[in-house]
Amino acid sequence: MEVLRRSSVFAAEVMEVFDRSPTDKELVSQAKALCRDYINSRLIRAGVSWSKPEYNAPVPGGKLAEVSAILLRLGDELEYIRPNVYRNIARQLNISLHSETVVTDAFLAVAAQIFTAGITWGKVVSLYAVAAGLAVDCVRHAQPAMVHTIVDCLGEFVRKTLVTWLKRRGGWADITKCVVNTDPSLRSHWLVAAVCSFGHFLKAIFFVLLPER
């Protein structure tokens, strides 16, 4: 099974753009690379049986690697607060994983709902946790090709919804400010807000998707 394939040349190109103001295309490429890292981490943690692909993680010490590590760290905290919220996403949404259209529509609907009231890093972390949780569901249900679909969907959502916000903050590296000299209790506060909001979004999306099933 081929999942999360990425060449070392591409990884190097993605890292280099952190040294200057990134373009829209570069921000989307970085978003997808970070999504592959996040999903790969969650697949390993879930102990899902899969044939490991040619997977090149960001070079240790690189800025992309730092962003990925922080994204995963914040994701760990988010998922620790409510461990059941980001698991069994497909079951919670009551969707079939055999249809690319259904998976795509469901993910984009949840993503849109998460950011209805604005954009924060907590919500961005929540988006990645949703993508990874759904990817784990897909692989467990013998639909590994859907992982590529989820990564592409996240990239498209970032292009349409998050790029302008990211550019105002200088790119993905801005997420590092969430953990530098930050009181853990304060960080937990915005993570709790993100996870509580997502819980409500899941219920809303369930009823939105209900007529489709």
Q: How far apart are CA 209 and CA 104, in angstroms?
A: 12
pTM of the predicted protein model: 0.79
DSSP string, 18-53: GGSPPPHHHHHHHHHHHHHHHHHHHHHHHT------
| pLDDT for 177 | 84
| Cβ 74 vs Cβ 125: under 8 Å | yes
* SS3 category, 173: helix
Tokens of 189: 């506060």
Residue 7 has what pLDDT?
44
**What's the token pair of residue 157?**
């959502």
pLDDT, averaged per 10 consecutive residues of the chain (213 residues), comes to 48 53 93 94 86 50 86 91 87 93 95 92 94 96 93 97 96 85 48 50 45 39
Q: What is the per-residue pLDDT for 178?
A: 78
Is 3.40.50.1100 the CATH classification of the domain at 19-180? no
CA distance linking residue 17 with residue 171, whole number of Å: 10
Q: What is the pLDDT of residue 21?
A: 80
**Whole-angstrom Cα distance, residue 17 to residue 60?**
16
pLDDT of residue 83: 80
Closest CA to 123 of 17, 200, 28: 200
Distances (CA, A) of 56 to 11, 52, 59: 7, 11, 8
User: In the numeric block, which tokens belong to residue 97?
Assistant: 């994983």
Given a contact cutoff of 8 angstroms between Cβ atoms, the answer to whether 150 and 103 are in contact is: yes
Q: In the prediction, which pLDDT does 60 show?
A: 54
What H or E segment, with its residue span, contains residue 127? helix 121-140
Which ranges of the chain would DSSP assign to H, the alpha helix?
8-16, 24-46, 63-81, 89-93, 100-114, 121-140, 146-157, 163-168, 184-209
**Unique residue bearing structure tokens 């990874």:** 132
